[in-house]
Structure 1
Amino acid sequence: MKSRFKAFYTKVRQSKFAQDSFWALFGNVLAKAMSLLGAIIVARLLGKEIFGEFGTIRSTLISVAMFSTFGLGYTATKFIAESKDRNPNLIKGIAILTMGISLVLSGILAILLFVFAKYVSDVIFEAPHLVTPVRLVSFWVIFSALTTAQIGILSGFNAFKSMARINTYVGILAFTNSFILTYFFDLNGALIALLCTQIFNCYLNYMEVQKFIPAANLVGSAEFKALSKKILKFSTPVAMQEGLYALTSWLTIILLLKFSDYGEVGLYSAAAQWSAIILFIPGILRNVILTHLSENNKDLLKHTEIIRKTILINLVTTVIPFIGIYLLRHWIVGFYGESYKDELDYILAISLFSTIFISISNVYAQAFMSIDKNWYMFGLRFTRDVLIITGTYLFLINNIYSGALSLVVSNLIIQICFLVIIMFIYNNIKLGHV
């Protein structure tokens, strides 16, 4: 038994995938814990209604930022993972293109959000008093998009140890900023903390990226142009997937506002925080998965082995925190304060259950990307997201469930169906049946 354990331990230590996974998680755990604690304090200080306003603005910012990244985070990871050994001359070109396109797109969208903040607040949010808060953090979009591209670049270099260190610093700052600024400045303080933390994250990532990028651009203009076309061709369906997800997330919030109120948005935002905690480890591993799948996309046996191991890891790392949080949910709800007490319990329970199916689905999403089947994934996600919105809308107009409950029930049903379908289609693609 002892020799078997020693052999297993040695195998794990020698596994590059295991090492990268460890560093992707180490430090991120502390960072996420600090961020969550800060978010709970913000929710408690603001109360359900104002926290709903904060959640609406934050959701809008995230949706715009996700669209502006144009899928370039994952694109950077895949292209650098494939090129660092096979064609290292392309590395600087990949970095320039991914960060440059992200900067331009996010800059345009941030300016538009700033200019049309009054329309967004008056017409879409139906809350004219939010015009200043929206303008205050509109340029958060730029730093978020750049951070996404930078994380993609660092992941392609397997720089997960460096990112763990950075995320630890960012998590500490996020907690400190959130508590102090929200306490003194309420909603505006919470939003300023969000912006300051993102700027700090972007700066640290930028300094780290510079350590890996060669000083000279080693490709000619013709090769650079060809690389640009290749990157845009790969990124377009990925960008459409992320844009679709962002749009769906935003539309569901707007549905809650139109058919209920900011209190329901606050309830959903609180439940979503804990779902994000459960999906934290699988989420951190997504770039690790894509890096290793891309490096081995010509080796079917190893590619399949990585997928199987990752599904098992995702399942374990999702189910364990799910059980813990589910059993402690009554205590968790109480910590948020009286305004959340009556409804958050069962909304949280359903939202948590959905994470198990989402976690496994994400493995297949990375697998599709690693073998350049992004259009398949876009079609599947488009169908999924349309059905989630439709289901939420039908529940709301027929008064079957309350606002937040309608959304989490619809999401659970569709996520279960989505997982079954994506597994079936991927297996058929792998066997050459599609």
Structure 2
Amino acid sequence: MTLDGLFRMVLPARLHERVSGSAIATRLAHGSAWSLFGSAGSRLLVLATMIAVARILGQAPFGAFGLVQSTLGVVGMMAGIGLGSTATRFVAQYARTDPQRAGQVIGLVLSVSSATVLAAAIALVASAGLIADAVLGRPDLQSALVCGAALMSAMAFRGIQNGVFSGLQKFDTIARLAILEGGLSLAAAIPMALMLGVEGALIGLAASAAAVWIVGRTALASTLKSRGIAIRYRGALADWRILTGYSLPSFLANAVATPVLWFAMTLASRSADGLAGVGTYYAAYQWHGPMIFVPVVLMSVSIPTLVQEWEAGRRARFRKVTFWICGLTLAIALPPATAGALLSPWIMSFYGPEFRDGWAVLVFLLAAAPLHALAKISSGALLGMNRAWWVLAINMAWGATVIAVTLWLLPAHGVLGLAIAFFSAYLVLSTLAFGLVLAGSRAEASAGLSPRLHDSNGTA
């Protein structure tokens, strides 16, 4: 079935005609087709890699692997400081109308990220012993954290690179690179895990991410040349207001989400379930991601289009397109999440017989997927409205919910309590995000605001 066929199933006829008859639907459908292909292929390969690594390592070592990955996510988030989404937002705004300004934004993002990622990697290596002992309570994970510094760096650079490609709407390139990375991860992580355990799996993933980043650099240079965009490092700091007006709130929004999940997993590792429980949770969490990969794709594809609609002052059409994507997202996310919940004992058995009893954890993580999907699209719309501070506010509500419910349920229910907290938090987040999109777009449309001459962050 084509994407247009799915649109017809989900949307009211009048709304479908209004949107699909326009260039918006053409851009979204083309970008979505490539992104769906790349995300589906990549996620299947990553899922196969994680299943194989779990069977090689066993439940408790796989829990240690997941705990290290979560720690790397926190450090990587700090290293990236929201620069990937910043590149998408402002390259999309300027790529067609002001190629010189687009090149300046790219220069700003690349120069700042080079410094922050390098600093984060050095800090992680230097403090690996302290983090492993005092924070994680696992001194034996020091070497894994040192190996993980390479993975953190490669993934941070890959995320920023994909942000630039998204702003240029080069979703076919993102898809090809994602599949290449998935294939290389499968080929590298499994033999390395067999040889070196947790450290080997991390090294294998780092090597594949670094290789794909190098390939991506060549592809990006070719794309920029064809668009007449030259990366400008000199004078790039003139756009520093982008960092305070957009990158900072985007970073702070992630600075809520990523550390909260890490903190919750750290609490779980110190509970009665220990690393075995974390291994169960991390295995189940691998299936939450595939359930929302379509919304993630639709969000990345739609942000450049929504930015252009919003900046042009077409508030009503912006709102209709957002609702259109939300409806499609829920229709796609609900069936596989339901099927996965029904098959949860069998799915968990893939990872090994000791994982089977964690099927209820998987059920709650899958139940959270449609809510997470709706929150992703709504948050993307808020970013398109240049309301990054709003995204920060609702992410703080999400984080408070995760921590409160985890502290309440973890002592009695172990990692199942963490899964329930995850579900509860996304119920809160999706409600707030969708409500703010509805209220914000209607308020400006009712006010009859004209297209803005300046960004809300102060840049021209």
CA distance in 1, matches of 2:253, 2:60: 31
CA distance in 2, matches of 1:220, 1:44: 47
8 Å CA contact retained: 1:20, 1:161: yes
- Deviations 1:300-326, CA, capped at 9 Å, x for gaps: 122112201210221122113212322
Q: 2:337 aligns with which of 318, 322, 332?
A: 322
Letter in 2 for 1:235: S
CA distance in 2, matches of 1:32, 1:153: 21
- Deviations 1:348-390, CA, capped at 9 Å, x for gaps: 0111001111110111111111111111211111122022112
CA drift of 1:412 comes to: 1.2
Instruction: Note if 1:252 corresponds to 2:264.
Output: yes
Provide the residue aligned with 1:369 in structure 2.
Answer: 383
CA distance in 2, matches of 1:67, 1:137: 15
Provide the residue aligned with 1:61 in structure 2.
Answer: 72
8 Å CA contact retained: 1:21, 1:288: yes
The SS at the match of 1:109 is helix
Provide the residue aligned with 2:408 in structure 1.
Answer: 394
Provide the residue aligned with 2:164 in structure 1.
Answer: 153
CA distance in 2, matches of 1:94, 1:220: 9
Provide the residue aligned with 2:353 in structure 1.
Answer: 338
Provide the residue aligned with 1:419 in structure 2.
Answer: 430
CA distance in 2, matches of 1:409, 1:300: 37
CA drift of 1:425 comes to: 2.8
Distance 1:267 1:196, change over 3 A: same
Provide the residue aligned with 2:11 in structure 1.
Answer: none
Distance 1:204 1:391, change over 3 A: same
Letter in 2 for 1:274: W
8 Å CA contact retained: 2:99, 2:229: no
Instruction: Note if 1:269 corresponds to 2:287.
Output: no
Q: 1:378 aligns with which of 380, 392, 404?
A: 392
CA distance in 2, matches of 1:107, 1:293: 33
Provide the residue aligned with 1:138 in structure 2.
Answer: 149
Gaps spanning 5+ residues in structure 1: where?
A: none
8 Å CA contact retained: 1:395, 1:401: yes
CA drift of 1:158 comes to: 0.9
- Deviations 1:266-300, CA, capped at 9 Å, x for gaps: 11101110001111121222211211111211211
RMSD: 2.4
Q: 1:349 aligns with which of 338, 359, 363?
A: 363
CA drift of 1:11 comes to: 5.5
CA distance in 1, matches of 2:220, 2:424: 41
Provide the residue aligned with 1:287 in structure 2.
Answer: 300
CA distance in 2, matches of 1:216, 1:82: 13
Residues matched between the structures, number: 425
Instruction: Give the fraction of aligned pairs with identical amino acids, expressed as a percent.
Output: 21
Question: Where do 1:20-419 residues align within 5 Å?
Answer: 20-214=31-225, 224-260=236-272, 261-297=274-310, 298-342=313-357, 344-396=358-410, 399-402=411-414, 404-419=415-430
CA drift of 1:216 comes to: 7.5
- Deviations 1:47-81, CA, capped at 9 Å, x for gaps: 11000000000111112112221111111111111
CA distance in 1, matches of 2:233, 2:32: 36
Distance 1:34 1:281, change over 3 A: same
CA distance in 1, matches of 2:435, 2:179: 39
CA drift of 1:94 comes to: 1.2
CA drift of 1:220 comes to: 10
8 Å CA contact retained: 2:401, 2:424: no
The SS at the match of 1:259 is coil
Provide the residue aligned with 2:455 in structure 1.
Answer: none
Gaps spanning 5+ residues in structure 2: where?
A: 9-16, 448-460
8 Å CA contact retained: 1:256, 1:264: yes
CA distance in 2, matches of 1:181, 1:302: 51
8 Å CA contact retained: 1:103, 1:142: no
CA drift of 1:327 comes to: 2.6
Letter in 1 for 2:102: I
Q: 1:18 aligns with which of 22, 29, 42?
A: 29
CA distance in 1, matches of 2:209, 2:339: 30
8 Å CA contact retained: 2:406, 2:421: yes
CA distance in 2, matches of 1:348, 1:168: 26
8 Å CA contact retained: 2:319, 2:438: no
CA drift of 1:258 comes to: 2.4
Letter in 2 for 1:276: G
8 Å CA contact retained: 1:137, 1:192: yes
| TM-score of the aligned structures, taking structure 2 as reference length | 0.87
CA distance in 1, matches of 2:362, 2:229: 51
CA distance in 1, matches of 2:294, 2:215: 22
